[in-house]
Amino acid sequence: MVGDTLERVKSGINGMDEMMQGGFAFPSTVLVAGSAGTGKTTFALQFLARGVRDGEQGLFFTTLSEPTQWMLRFVTHFTFIDKDSFGKQIKYVDLGPVLRKDRDPDILLKYIDDQIAEHMPQRIVIDPLTVVGEMISGSYRTFLYDLTTRLKNWQAVSVLTGEVLPGQMYPVELSYVVDTLVLLSTDLSPEGTRRKYLEILKMRGTNHATGKNLVDLSARGFVVQVGLR
Amino acid sequence: MVGDTLERVKSGINGMDEMMQGGFAFPSTVLVAGSAGTGKTTFALQFLARGVRDGEQGLFFTTLSEPTQWMLRFVTHFTFIDKDSFGKQIKYVDLGPVLRKDRDPDILLKYIDDQIAEHMPQRIVIDPLTVVGEMISGSYRTFLYDLTTRLKNWQAVSVLTGEVLPGQMYPVELSYVVDTLVLLSTDLSPEGTRRKYLEILKMRGTNHATGKNLVDLSARGFVVQVGLR
Amino acid sequence: MVGDTLERVKSGINGMDEMMQGGFAFPSTVLVAGSAGTGKTTFALQFLARGVRDGEQGLFFTTLSEPTQWMLRFVTHFTFIDKDSFGKQIKYVDLGPVLRKDRDPDILLKYIDDQIAEHMPQRIVIDPLTVVGEMISGSYRTFLYDLTTRLKNWQAVSVLTGEVLPGQMYPVELSYVVDTLVLLSTDLSPEGTRRKYLEILKMRGTNHATGKNLVDLSARGFVVQVGLR
Amino acid sequence: MVGDTLERVKSGINGMDEMMQGGFAFPSTVLVAGSAGTGKTTFALQFLARGVRDGEQGLFFTTLSEPTQWMLRFVTHFTFIDKDSFGKQIKYVDLGPVLRKDRDPDILLKYIDDQIAEHMPQRIVIDPLTVVGEMISGSYRTFLYDLTTRLKNWQAVSVLTGEVLPGQMYPVELSYVVDTLVLLSTDLSPEGTRRKYLEILKMRGTNHATGKNLVDLSARGFVVQVGLR
Amino acid sequence: MVGDTLERVKSGINGMDEMMQGGFAFPSTVLVAGSAGTGKTTFALQFLARGVRDGEQGLFFTTLSEPTQWMLRFVTHFTFIDKDSFGKQIKYVDLGPVLRKDRDPDILLKYIDDQIAEHMPQRIVIDPLTVVGEMISGSYRTFLYDLTTRLKNWQAVSVLTGEVLPGQMYPVELSYVVDTLVLLSTDLSPEGTRRKYLEILKMRGTNHATGKNLVDLSARGFVVQVGLR
Amino acid sequence: MVGDTLERVKSGINGMDEMMQGGFAFPSTVLVAGSAGTGKTTFALQFLARGVRDGEQGLFFTTLSEPTQWMLRFVTHFTFIDKDSFGKQIKYVDLGPVLRKDRDPDILLKYIDDQIAEHMPQRIVIDPLTVVGEMISGSYRTFLYDLTTRLKNWQAVSVLTGEVLPGQMYPVELSYVVDTLVLLSTDLSPEGTRRKYLEILKMRGTNHATGKNLVDLSARGFVVQVGLR
């Protein structure tokens, strides 16, 4: 009999590890896709916060140039993360100036590589990655290909967040090149409230739970209500 | 336990502050999106009028070159705003000539920055922002990125209004770069009247009420009927 | 208490003025949007005919080069308009040659301005405006922006008609820049007849009736059956 | 009281004249739109055959280069038309070579004008007109504008046929510039047969019957079953 | 009384000739449209096989460069066709090299013409024609126009097969220029099997049966179950 | 009577060979199409693993530059394949560097040809082929045409995997040029789980079972539950 030979790291999302044989494959790339307000940044922070607890280094790339103090204020909203880990166990790097100034995908890739080499993280976040597609010169597809090829060479799990248009399921170009695809979505209940869902749509080399699961999203972060639809 | 550490300012919309832990985060950027006739300009005026009441300076950028006297006539239609505040607590600036003449996003950004530096507002409105996308030369996406990055550097809440196509939910490029996303929408009731709704779809760092809420829109401005769907 | 401080002019459409606090705001721009056969030209003629009755000068710009005699034949079909007013209280100007020859939006704008300056109308029609978008060189959006900015400088109500594709609600670029948006639409009844509707979707500074209203369209022109859906 | 002051010519379609105050306005342009197999060419032939009976000259422009003998074979299929009228009361002109060789809209327009001047028809057909849009160099919209402006200058009724994509209602560019818009359509009955319909969607200056009417299409041509849906 | 004066040839499809007054018009062009797996090539082979039986010469143009031996293997799958007729009564010509090398529509047209002139077939197949649109330089529409004009000059029935996108009904550009339009389609039955249908959507000069008919597709080729839906 | 004269090879998918007269035609090209997470790579591995069991050489081209050790880890997840066959009976070739560096379809084609000539496989996989369309310069369609023409010249069955957009059925350009088209799809059950399906949509020269069949996808690979829908 063949068991699960993939090394796993905890996702940090309450209830999600049981859905995927114990956690994300290590190393691997994870696309977290959802439209506005589905909680992609919160997901990424929970993922990094769990790493802090497990003694792993985290690296958070922002493409939106949110100032560190904005991020700190945002972080203090949550109970699952220690604000003091920011700048230490979780390095916070702004890709905005590189993106804005050069628009050259190769310079951007080199900058990302240099940052990873410097901090040697086990957990990497790029939030949101889809913004890059609109701002670099040259082919987005080739950039994604090169980026994920490089990320695979590092011993890390990379969580890449992707904005989707309302009605779309996920950003297709990104879905090709990642190992794991997590969908965050919402719908309006008959009572007019907006319900939130998490689904693992693809996970290479893993028997994962399928289908949409209701999630709670609060100051405690995501909690997956496995089996609740 | 971690409380709400974000500073808040009142929205000016009756019933809306309770939906979002007391008000808009300060500073932050707010996209108010809706199709024609959903009341985006009225929302923006209520937001500024509330600032007047709270002793804050307001700055209203129009992109449509409505003459001041047109705006004054429009404003006298409403009971929530004092016409005399126009030109004083609420500065009214026409972006039309800059937009029309130069079409250069950098000149436009500089002009906006200069106006903010001169008036030092706590509340800023750009109405409608989406028009800019059709009129500037160069990349709209980069302009939005630069604009919101700059707005974040000012101590202010910026309300940006966005036209949406019928059937669309919100202008996607704008939704990426704002902290808060408010949707104004309408539908036809079975009796053939047009009902109006307000929904907070995204609000970074805030536990906000979700789902569509019926609104009244009259000379008193918006009144959110929280819980009524 | 604040009353309605906007000056109003009668629309000429039977039943419509009660839906909008007495009439169109004066001055203002009105988009009348509808697909083929919804009666846009008839609406425009009723609007001008009412002006004749109220002693106002009208100016009808056609973009389709219908010869005057064609228009006269068309007009004699209706009971609400006096054929003899054509050429006198209602000036009829063909934009076709300018549009066809130069395709230059600035020459077109100047020609329109000159005609308005010569006739000094209180009521202006451009029918259909959407054709211009296909025929001018340069940006349609900028043209619309310039046109409506100029029209606002004249003391007049301008009715601009717009063709919509079947399935579309209204021409979006035009909806941005007008004060009032009127939709003409049709559907097929279960019995297979085609019903006609009028809806005021947007009206800046006015508490207007909302929702779709059944209309009669005959030799007497439009009659809105307010409250009938 | 104002009566119908428009001169009318019989359509040739059994049951259709009663739907439109006696016939097509003379002169006017008529768009007959429908997808493949809805009978546009048959409609055009009935229209011309009626002219033969009323002593009017007809002119049939084909854009598809069907050889005259093909057309004769096609015509002999129908009982409503006398094959011998071809080449005499109905001139048959192939636009194909002009379209194919020069692709110049002005040469095409001149050729059409010359043919009309030579034969002085009261009834003109261009079948199908939509093909021209794919083959001329330069703007189709401007061509349509010029074509219909010229056709209006002749004392004739022009029937222009237009192919529509399945799911589309009519070719939008053409619908702008014609006086009358006739839709031919089909659907699948619950029993799996294909039903055919005729609807007059727009007719300037005419009180016309509205809604979809079932039609029979056979060797006798179209017969409208007015009131049958 | 006017009878059917069109010469007819048998389609080779069991049950189809009764739907169309005895067969395809001779000469004429037939578009057989369907998505992947609907049996277009099988239809074309049955059409040619019937010609063999009736002593007519066939000419099969492939655009996909299937080697002759591949085609022979494919053909032996069917009971309706004699493998030995390949290369004799049915000539098999590969358009691939011309298409691939020159991409010049005029060279392709000349090559097709030369082949027809050499073999003088009564039945011609081009399978699939839609591939040409992606590979030639220059206008596909003009090519189709020229191709069908030339095919009409030969005394033959030409069956052109066309791939359609799922959800589309037929390739629109092709539908304009053919005399007969046959749709092959499938749907999923409630039990999850895929049912196949044949519909004659358009047939110039012929009273044809309308609506979708169930078909059997097996080693015996197509059998139309007329009246079964 | 005519039997099945096509040579067959086993697919390796449990339950699938019975659906298609014993297996894939040899030689032939097979498109396996599905959206993210439907198991395309697993299908391809099962196909190669079966070849190992039957003493056939396999060749796996990856376009995503998954390192061999990643693939080995992935492979160990499954019980149907012997990890030790990798590098021996299954050669693993990365097309990434060629694709990334030259972007020249001819260099890519030559590289593929050389690899096939070197290893002389009976079973070939390109996974995923659709990525190539985004990365080569020049026409994707022509590349596909050339690729499949070349593959047909080798004595092998080629399984090409294709990503489809959510909502699409299959990549249309690829569907034209393959002999067999297999669809992998999913839907959400009423209970919220995601069901997986396999359908053979097209198979030239083969009487294949039609319709969607439920599949199990686990460490044992695909198991088709024929007849279960």
pLDDT of residue D177: 86
pLDDT of C3 higher than 60 = no
pLDDT of C14 higher than 70 = yes
Contact present, E5 and D76 (Cβ < 8 Å): yes
Give this complex's ipTM: 0.83
More confident position, B7 or A11? A11
Residue B192, judged by CB atoms within 10 A of its CB (0-12, 13-18, 19+), counts as middle
DSSP letter (8 states) at residue D193: P
Q: Which of D170, D175, D212 sits opposite C188 (nearest CB)?
A: D212
The whole-number average pLDDT for the span A201-210 is: 90
Could you give the CA distance from residue A174 to residue F32 in angstroms, rounded to a whole number? Answer: 20
Could you give the CA distance from residue E176 to residue C34 in angstroms, rounded to a whole number? Answer: 29
Q: What is the mean pLDDT of chain C?
A: 90
More confident position, B140 or F157? F157
Search chain E and give the residue with CA nearest D219.
Answer: E207
| Set of chain E residues whose Cβ sits within 8 Å of the Cβ of F167 | none
Q: How sure is the predictor about A56, in pLDDT bands with cuts at 50, 70 and 90?
A: very high
The whole-number average pLDDT for the span A20-42 is: 94
Q: Which of A128, A192, A218 sits opposite B211 (nearest CB)?
A: A192
Q: Which of B70, B77, B165 sits opposite C152 (nearest CB)?
A: B70
Answer whether B168 touches C (CB < 8 Å): no
pLDDT of F85 higher than 50 = yes
Q: Would you call A5 and F79 a contact, using CB atoms and an 8 Å cutoff? A: no
User: Using DSSP, how many helices (H) and how many strands (E) does chain F show?
Assistant: 7, 11
Beta bridge partners of B44: none
Handedness of CA B164, B165, B169, B171 (dihedral sign): negative
Tens of pLDDT along A139-155? 888 899 889 989 988 99
| Set of chain E residues whose Cβ sits within 8 Å of the Cβ of F5 | 73, 76-77
Tens of pLDDT along B90-122? 999 999 889 888 889 999 999 999 999 999 999
| Set of chain C residues whose Cβ sits within 8 Å of the Cβ of B134 | 139, 141-142, 173
Query: Considering only CA atoms, which of F3, D16, B127, E35 is closest in space to residue C176?
Result: B127
Distance to chain B for C211, nearest Cα, Å = 4
Residue D88, judged by CB atoms within 10 A of its CB (0-12, 13-18, 19+), counts as exposed
Tens of pLDDT along A124-136? 999 999 888 878 8
pLDDT of residue F228: 63
Answer whether D152 touches C (CB < 8 Å): yes
| Set of chain B residues whose Cβ sits within 8 Å of the Cβ of A74 | 204-205
Tens of pLDDT along B30-72? 999 999 889 999 999 999 999 999 999 999 999 987 778 888 8
Distance to chain A for B85, nearest Cα, Å = 32
Q: Would you call E145 and D100 a contact, using CB atoms and an 8 Å cutoff? A: yes
Are there at least 3 beta-carbon pairs closer than 8 Å between C and D? yes
Distance to chain B for C91, nearest Cα, Å = 28
Distance to chain E for F36, nearest Cα, Å = 19
| Set of chain B residues whose Cβ sits within 8 Å of the Cβ of C141 | 134-135
Answer whether B109 touches A (CB < 8 Å): no
Q: What is the mean pLDDT of chain B?
A: 90
Q: Which of A64, A67, A73 sits opposite B205 (nearest CB)?
A: A73
CA D179 to chain centre: 12
Tens of pLDDT along D35-90? 988 999 999 999 999 999 999 999 999 998 787 888 888 888 899 999 899 889 99
Contact present, F170 and F182 (Cβ < 8 Å): no
Answer whether E165 touches D (CB < 8 Å): no
Q: Would you call D131 and E203 a contact, using CB atoms and an 8 Å cutoff? A: no
pLDDT of residue B2: 40
Substitution target in C73, C101, C187, C222 with the highest count of D β-carbons within 10 Å is C73
pLDDT of residue E4: 53
Would you state the torsion angle of the CA atoms of residues D160, D163, D168, D173, taken in this order, to the nearest 10 degrees? -50
Distance to chain B for C5, nearest Cα, Å = 7
Search chain F and give the residue with CA nearest A3.
Answer: F77
Compute the C-alpha angle C165/C170/C173, nearest 5°. Answer: 105
Q: Would you call C170 and B77 a contact, using CB atoms and an 8 Å cutoff? A: no
> Between the CA of residue E4 and those of E18, E158, E180, F100, what are the distances in Å?
14, 21, 16, 63
Could you give the CA distance from residue A91 to residue A113 in angstroms, rounded to a whole number? Answer: 14
Answer whether E141 touches F (CB < 8 Å): no
pLDDT of residue E228: 63
pLDDT of A18 higher than 90 = yes
Q: Which of D66, D76, D128 sits opposite E176 (nearest CB)?
A: D128
Task: List the alpha helices (DSSP H) in C54-178.
Answer: 68-75, 96-101, 105-119, 130-135, 140-153, 172-177
- What pTM was computed for the model? 0.84
pLDDT of residue E28: 93
Q: Would you call A5 and F73 a contact, using CB atoms and an 8 Å cutoff? A: yes
Could you give the CA distance from residue E126 to residue E128 in angstroms, rounded to a whole number? Answer: 6
Contact present, E225 and E213 (Cβ < 8 Å): yes
Could you give the CA distance from residue A133 to residue A154 in angstroms, rounded to a whole number? Answer: 23
Query: Considering only CA atoms, which of B58, B192, D66 is closest in space to residue E205?
Result: D66
Q: Which of A74, A191, A194 sits opposite B204 (nearest CB)?
A: A74
Search chain B and give the residue with CA nearest A94.
Answer: B149
Answer whether D191 touches E (CB < 8 Å): yes
Search chain C and give the residue with CA nearest D31.
Answer: C36
Q: Which of F141, F201, F211 sits opposite E135 (nearest CB)?
A: F141
Tens of pLDDT along C75-122? 888 999 998 998 899 999 999 889 888 889 999 999 999 999 999 999
Neighbours of chain C (3+ CB pairs under 8 A): B, D
Q: Which of E6, E201, E207 sits opposite D37 (nearest CB)?
A: E201
D23 three-class SS? coil
The whole-number average pLDDT for the span D21-38 is: 94
pLDDT of A64 higher than 90 = no
Contact present, D201 and D182 (Cβ < 8 Å): yes
Pairing of strands D58-62, D90-94: parallel
Q: How sure is the predictor about F49, in pLDDT bands with cuts at 50, 70 and 90?
A: very high
Q: Which of A36, A64, A165 sits opposite B201 (nearest CB)?
A: A36
Q: Would you call E212 and D191 a contact, using CB atoms and an 8 Å cutoff? A: no
Could you give the CA distance from residue C217 to residue C196 in angstroms, rounded to a whole number? Answer: 8
Answer whether F166 touches A (CB < 8 Å): yes
Q: What is the mean pLDDT of chain D?
A: 90
Query: Considering only CA atoms, which of E69, B53, E6, C41 is closest in space to residue D202?
Result: C41
Q: Would you call B152 and A66 a contact, using CB atoms and an 8 Å cutoff? A: yes
pLDDT of residue F207: 87
pLDDT of F35 higher than 60 = yes
| Set of chain E residues whose Cβ sits within 8 Å of the Cβ of D36 | 170, 175-176, 181, 201-202
Answer whether B128 touches C (CB < 8 Å): yes
pLDDT of F4 higher than 60 = no
Compute the C-alpha angle B159/B162/B167, nearest 5°. Answer: 140
The whole-number average pLDDT for the span B164-179 is: 83
Distance to chain D for E74, nearest Cα, Å = 33
Q: Which of F2, F204, F229 sits opposite E192 (nearest CB)?
A: F229
Local confidence pLDDT in tens for the 229 residues of chain E: 344 567 899 999 999 999 999 999 999 999 999 998 899 999 999 999 999 999 999 999 999 877 788 888 888 889 999 989 988 999 999 998 898 888 899 999 999 999 999 999 999 999 999 888 877 887 888 899 889 989 988 999 999 999 987 667 888 888 888 999 999 999 888 877 889 999 999 998 888 998 999 999 988 999 998 766 5
pLDDT of residue C229: 59
Tens of pLDDT along F192-227? 788 999 999 999 888 899 899 999 998 899 999 876
Pairing of strands A123-127, A8-9: unpaired
| Set of chain D residues whose Cβ sits within 8 Å of the Cβ of E4 | 77
pLDDT of residue A76: 86
- Cα Rg, chain B, nearest whole Å: 17
The whole-number average pLDDT for the span A212-218 is: 92
Could you give the CA distance from residue D10 to residue C90 in angstroms, rounded to a whole number? Answer: 33
pLDDT of residue C2: 40
Beta bridge partners of D30: D159, D180
Tens of pLDDT along F86-127? 889 999 999 988 988 888 999 999 999 999 999 999 999 999
Neighbours of chain D (3+ CB pairs under 8 A): C, E
The whole-number average pLDDT for the span B163-175 is: 81
Q: Would you call C134 and D173 a contact, using CB atoms and an 8 Å cutoff? A: yes
pLDDT of residue D5: 67
Q: Would you call E131 and F146 a contact, using CB atoms and an 8 Å cutoff? A: no
| Set of chain C residues whose Cβ sits within 8 Å of the Cβ of D206 | 77
Answer whether B134 touches C (CB < 8 Å): yes
pLDDT of A1 higher than 60 = no
Q: How far apart are the first and last CA of chain E?
A: 34
